[in-house]
């Protein structure tokens, strides 16, 4: 089993109640869509003298908990970065273990995700993935279509630049077919050709692990997202960190290049 009991024991100590809760302001300003770059699994494992794949198992376990916090806080969408178009550069053994873990995650959590009402969606270059992964995605997607508590989008073999290239290619084809004139092209045309056009842009993007970069995640969609970075490694990212991120998000003024709500005289 890819998620051994030993991993649960390692994760347990940080599950203690932290005391920090959502502020009143945060409760009134829950982000609709939170995206997470689930980074730091390898360092988490190394610190414990474990193989990298154990870090990925611990990260997967934490993803399930994270979904429960999203539901608790009333978040509608979460997109999580699980495998990038650049991650193929990792050693074959690690890539294989990540593919295997993906399939095992659903075998382990499908029932719980169903009971929790989580709808599963995927974005990325799906056709390039092993058949077992594609099959798991198809099943998870079709069996969860009617669920409506939380939409969990897993970005797998995803790259923001690749997504923009895909959209551009489709729009060029439309132009060649005479269905679109280049001067008619708008931002909406590009948004409509992304992997999941109906999913709103992320309000908040969280990156644990101490890295201060996007690493090719949601490049188009993040134009006006708020960012929250922390040194904590993803398997150690807890409800307490999540609350801190949401409280921080709620205290910011979003302006989109114009005026804030307050400045416009709105509450
Ligand atoms: C994130 O953890 C998971 C994937 C990229 C698949 P990493 O494996 O990048 O962990 P670090 O950054 O090496 O600690
Ligand atoms: C980003 O993390 C991708 C995922 C978390 C899946 P990386 O570990 O691949 O990013 P870099 O290499 O540190 O930029
Ligand atoms: Mg990393």
pLDDT at position 204: 98
Nearest CA to ligand 2 atom 12: 215
Residue bearing tokens 């997470």: 36
**64 sits in which H/E element:** helix 52-73
Residue 212 included in any domain: yes
The burial of 187, by beta-carbon neighbours within 10 Å (0-12 exposed, 13-18 middle, 19 or more buried), is given as: exposed
DSSP 202: P
Asked whether residue 267 is domain-assigned, the answer is no
18 within domain boundaries: no
Residue recorded with tokens 């995650």: 105
Share of residues in the chain with pLDDT > 90 (%): 90
Nearest Cα neighbor of 242 from 9, 22, 8 is 22
pLDDT one-digit tens code per residue, 88-139? 999 999 999 999 999 999 999 999 999 999 999 999 999 999 999 999 999 9
Contact (CB, 8 A) for 54 and 230 = no
Q: Do the strands 204-207 and 150-158 form a parallel or antiparallel pair, or are they unpaired?
A: unpaired
Of the candidates 195, 209, 248, 246, the one whose C-alpha atom is nearest the C-alpha of residue 31 is 246
Say how many C-beta atoms besides its own lie within 10 A of residue 127's C-beta: 7
pLDDT digits (tens, 9 = 90+) for 198-213: 999 999 999 999 999 9
How far apart, in whole angstroms, are the C-alpha atoms of residue 43 and residue 41? 6
Residue 77 lies in a domain: yes
Q: Among the bound ligands, name the one nearest to the CA of residue 89.
A: 2
**Per the domain annotation, does 155 fall within a domain?**
yes
Has 39 been annotated as catalytic?
yes
Name the one residue in this structure whose structure tokens are 């709500």. Answer: 261
Alpha carbon distance 267, 264 (integer Å): 9
Say how many Å lie between the CA of residue 54 and the centre of ligand 1. Answer: 11
Query: How confident is the model at residue 24, as a pLDDT?
Result: 96
Domain enclosing residue 64, as ranges: 33-159+202-249
Ligand 2: atom nearest CA of 158 is: 6
Annotated active-site residue 87? The verdict is yes
What total number of domains does the chain contain?
Answer: 1
- Among candidates 97, 79, 165, 163, which has minimal Cα distance to 124? 163
Taking only the tens of pLDDT, the chain with its 267 residues reads 455 666 656 665 554 556 789 999 999 999 999 999 999 999 999 999 999 999 999 999 999 999 999 999 999 999 999 999 999 999 999 999 999 999 999 999 999 999 999 999 999 999 999 999 999 999 999 999 999 999 999 999 999 999 999 999 999 999 999 999 999 999 999 999 999 999 999 999 999 999 999 999 999 999 999 999 999 999 999 999 999 999 999 999 999 999 988 899 986
Residue 12: partners with Cβ closer than 8 Å, 6 or more residues away = none
Is residue 217 in a domain? yes
Q: For the chain, first and last CA: distance in Å?
A: 51
In a domain, 9, yes or no: no
CATH number of residue 133's parent domain: 3.40.1180.10
Whether 206 and 34 have beta carbons less than 8 Å apart is answered as yes
Residue to substitute in 215, 234, 235 for testing ligand 2 pocket (most ligand atoms within 8 angstroms of CB)? 215
Cβ–Cβ < 8 Å for 144, 118 = yes
- Flag whether 54 is in a domain: yes
pLDDT value at residue 181:
97
């Amino acid at each position: 089993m890819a998620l051994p009991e030993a991993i649960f024991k390692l994760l347990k100590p940080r599950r203690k109640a932290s005391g920090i809760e959502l502020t009143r302001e945060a409760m009134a300003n829950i982000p609709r869509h939170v995206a997470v770059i689930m980074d730091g699994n390898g360092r988490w494992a190394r610190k414990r003298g474990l193989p990298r794949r154990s870090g990925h198992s611990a990260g997967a376990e934490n993803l399930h908990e994270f979904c429960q916090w999203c539901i608790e806080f009333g978040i509608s969408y979460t997109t999580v970065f699980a495998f990038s178009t650049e991650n193929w550069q990792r050693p074959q053994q690690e890539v294989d273990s990540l593919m295997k873990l993906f399939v095992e995650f659903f075998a382990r959590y499908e029932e719980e995700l169903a009971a929790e009402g989580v709808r599963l969606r995927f974005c990325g270059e799906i056709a390039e993935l092993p058949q077992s992964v594609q099959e798991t995605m198809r099943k998870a997607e079709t069996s969860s279509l009617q669920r409506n508590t939380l939409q969990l989008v897993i970005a797998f073999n995803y790259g923001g630049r690749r997504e923009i290239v895909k959209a551009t290619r489709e729009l060029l084809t439309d132009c060649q077919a005479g269905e679109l004139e280049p001067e008619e092209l708008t931002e909406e045309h590009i948004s409509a050709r992304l992997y999941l056009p109906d999913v709103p842009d992320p309000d908040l993007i969280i990156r644990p692990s101490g890295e201060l970069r996007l690493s090719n995640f949601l490049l188009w969609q993040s134009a006006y997202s708020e960012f929250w970075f922390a040194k904590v490694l993803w398997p150690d990212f807890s409800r307490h960190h999540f609350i801190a991120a949401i409280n921080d998000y709620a205290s910011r003024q979003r302006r989109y290049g114009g005026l804030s709500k307050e400045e416009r005289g709105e509450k």
